[in-house]
A and B are shown apart, each in its own frame.
Chain A
C-alpha cells in the first residue's frame, strides 16, 4: 500500500447485527487528494461503512486500512489516533450537546493540544467562513438544522483533518444552503483534502477529483 493511500478496504465481508450479509467481497481504495461519493439506498450499509472506517465496528473477514494502518479491535490507541485525522459530518457524527458552538468547533484542536493563538485564529476563521459569529455561545439545541450542519462542517475541518466523512449531509437542504455547502466541499477538494460523501441519492452537482460509487449487492460498483 502506498503512503498516500487514505483508505483501503480489501475483500470486506460484514453482517449486520441481525445476521444479514451487508458487504460481500467489497474492495475500495482512496488516495490522498481524491474523494468518493458513495450512493446507496436506505439499509444498503452506508452507516455501517462509516462505522468500519472509524473503528467502531470490525468486519467478519477482510481488512480495513486507514492512513496505512490496519484497524483491529485490539489497537485502541491507533484507532484513537486515526479518529483525530477524520472529520465527520452527519449520520453518527453529532454535536456535543453540553458544549456551545465555539467549544464544539474547537474540540479537535483541544485533542491535539493546539496552542491558544492557533485555536483562536482557526475558530475565528471557521466562524467567519460559516457566518456563525452570532451563534458562538449557543448550545446545539438552540441552533437550526442548517446551523447545526455548518457547525459540524466547521468542526470536521478546523484541524485540517486529511479525511472528511460526510453522511447524508446534503439531503433535504434548501437550495441556498446546498449551494453554500457544495461550494465549501469544492474548496476542500481543490485544496487536496479527501472526502467520502455518503448519500442515498446522486448529487445534483459533481465535486472535483471525485469518483462515484454505488453500493449494490454488498459491493461497491
Chain B
C-alpha cells in the first residue's frame, strides 16, 4: 500500500513537474489517433459499400436450344439442369427465365418489343439467373463455379461481370493495404513520439534514478509511474479521438452514404490497446535509465 501510494505520488509529481510535456504528448497522440479513427471509419464504410455492390452480382447461365423444356426445370429429378446447377456449392438461388420472359424483359429494357414478327421463332435463349452466398462472391470462387456449370450438358454460355469484379477486388485490396500501412505508421509514430516524450521527462531525473537503484529500488518500482502515465495518456488520447468523432457525427449529416462506425466494444478494445501501447512506450522511455 505504501509503495502504491509512493508510485501514485510520483505519477502526480511527474505530471505536475512537466505539464507541458504531458499535454503535448496527449495532443499529438490524440491527433494521430483521430487520423487513425477516420481511416477506420472510411475502411468500414468502403467495405459496406463493397458488400452492397457484391450483393447485386449475379450469373446468367444460357441454355442450348436442343435441351427440351421438360428436362430443364424439374427440382426433384437429379438429371434436370436446374437440379444440377442448384446442387453446386455456393449457389444460393436460381431463377428460370423462359424465352417469353426474356422477350418481356427485353421489351421493358428498351421500351419497345423488338421481336414483333418472331412469335413462333423467338431467338432469345432460355437462361437461369443465379445468386450466390456472400462467401462465394470472389473472382476465384465464381470462376470455379463458372467452369463447373460450363461442364454441364445443355449449358451454352455463362455470363457475369468478371472484369468489374476483378477491378472491385483490386480496389478493395489497395484500400486494405493502405489502411494497414497507415495503421502501422501511426502506431509506430505514436510509439516513437511517446517514448521520446517519456525519455525527455525521465532523463532530467537520471541521477535520481541511479541513486534509487543504488538504494535497492527495483526497475518495475521505478518505471511504474511512467507505465501508468503512458497508460493514461494512451487511453485518454484514444477516448478523446472518438469523442471528437461522435461529436462531429451529430453535426454532419450524410444523405447518400451510410457511414459505418465501429461498435462500442471495438472502440473500447481499441482504447485499451492504445493504453497498453502507451505503457509500453513509457517503459521504453525509461528502460535505459534504469540500467545499473
Contact of A84 among B17, B205, B216 (CB under 8 A): B216
- Return the chain A residue nearest B6 by Cβ: A110
Chain A 47-99 interface residues, beta-carbon cutoff 8 Å to B: 54, 56, 80-84, 86, 88, 92-99
Complexed CA–CA distance, A155 and B208 (Å): 14
On whether A80 and B211 interact (CB within 8 A), knowing A98-B205, A116-B2, the answer reads no
Give the size of the chain B interface in residues (CB under 8 angstroms). 19
Q: Which residues of A contact B216 (CB under 8 A)?
A: 80-84, 86, 108, 111
Cβ contacts B12-32/A at 8 Å (1 or 0 each): 010001000000000000000
Q: Which residues of B contact A110 (CB under 8 A)?
A: 2-3, 6
A96 adjacent to B211 (CB under 8 Å)? yes
Cβ contacts A153-176/B at 8 Å (1 or 0 each): 001000000000000000000000
Complexed CA–CA distance, A218 and B221 (Å): 38
- Return the chain A residue nearest B206 by Cβ: A97
Complexed CA–CA distance, A54 and B208 (Å): 17
On whether A114 and B2 interact (CB within 8 A), knowing A94-B207, A99-B208, the answer reads yes
A113 adjacent to B2 (CB under 8 Å)? yes
Quick check: is A182 within 8 A (CB to CB) of the other chain? no
Q: Which residues of A contact B213 (CB under 8 A)?
A: 83
Query: Could you count the A-B residue pairs with CB atoms below 8 Å apart for me: how many are there?
Result: 55
Complexed CA–CA distance, A98 and B222 (Å): 14
Complexed CA–CA distance, A81 and B208 (Å): 19
On whether A93 and B2 interact (CB within 8 A), knowing A98-B205, A111-B216, the answer reads no
**Measured between C-beta atoms, what is the minimum distance from B200 to chain A in Å?**
15
Quick check: is A107 within 8 A (CB to CB) of the other chain? yes
**Measured between C-beta atoms, what is the minimum distance from B270 to chain A in Å?**
35
- Return the chain A residue nearest B10 by Cβ: A98
Complexed CA–CA distance, A107 and B216 (Å): 10
**Measured between C-beta atoms, what is the minimum distance from B90 to chain A in Å?**
60
Complexed CA–CA distance, A83 and B216 (Å): 5
Quick check: is B182 within 8 A (CB to CB) of the other chain? no
Q: Which residues of A contact B207 (CB under 8 A)?
A: 94, 96-97
Complexed CA–CA distance, A98 and B17 (Å): 10
A88 adjacent to B208 (CB under 8 Å)? no
B208 adjacent to A97 (CB under 8 Å)? yes
Contact of A111 among B1, B13, B205, B217 (CB under 8 A): B217
**Measured between C-beta atoms, what is the minimum distance from B289 to chain A in Å?**
13
Quick check: is B257 within 8 A (CB to CB) of the other chain? no
Q: Which residues of B contact A81 (CB under 8 A)?
A: 216
Quick check: is B215 within 8 A (CB to CB) of the other chain? yes
**Measured between C-beta atoms, what is the minimum distance from A117 to chain B in Å?**
11
A93 adjacent to B6 (CB under 8 Å)? no
Complexed CA–CA distance, A108 and B215 (Å): 7
Complexed CA–CA distance, A108 and B208 (Å): 14
Q: Which residues of A contact B1 (CB under 8 A)?
A: 113
A93 adjacent to B214 (CB under 8 Å)? yes
- Return the chain A residue nearest B217 by Cβ: A111
Can you pick out 29 interface pairs between chain A and chain B where the beta carbons lie within 8 Å of each other? A54-B214, A80-B217, A81-B216, A82-B216, A83-B214, A83-B215, A83-B216, A84-B215, A88-B214, A88-B215, A93-B211, A93-B214, A96-B207, A96-B211, A97-B205, A98-B17, A98-B205, A98-B208, A107-B215, A107-B217, A108-B215, A108-B216, A110-B3, A110-B6, A111-B216, A111-B217, A114-B2, A115-B2, A155-B215
Apart from A98-B208, A107-B215, A115-B2, list 17 A-B contacts with CB within 8 A.
Answer: A80-B217, A80-B218, A83-B216, A84-B215, A84-B216, A88-B215, A93-B211, A96-B207, A96-B208, A97-B205, A98-B205, A99-B208, A107-B212, A108-B215, A110-B2, A113-B3, A116-B2
Contacts from B to A (Cβ < 8 Å): 1-3, 6, 13, 17, 205, 207-208, 211-218, 221, 292
